[in-house]
Amino acid sequence: MACKKRKRGLLFWLAVVLCMTACGEKDREEAPETPRETAEYVMESLQNLDLESLNQYTDNCIRIHRNLFGIPTRAEYQVFQELQQPGLIKGKQYQWNYKLAQKLMERMTWEIKEVRDQEREAEIDLVISNLDMEKVMGAYMVSLLETMVDSDGLGLRALMKEINSLLQDKEKLLTLMEAQGEEERCTREVTVRLSREEDQWRLHLSPDFINAILGNMSGESLPEDLERRIEELERQYERKMEEELSDFEEQAEDWVERYFGE
**94-104 tens-digit pLDDT:** 777 788 888 88
- Encode pLDDT of 66-102 as tens digits: 887 777 877 788 888 776 666 666 777 777 778 888 8
* Lowest mean pLDDT segment, chosen from 8-12, 30-34, 145-149, 168-172: 8-12
Predicted TM-score (pTM) of the model is 0.70
> Which spans in the chain are helix H?
2-19, 35-47, 51-56, 92-105, 133-150, 156-168, 170-179, 207-213, 224-260
Asked whether the beta carbons of 215 and 186 are under 8 A apart, the reply is yes
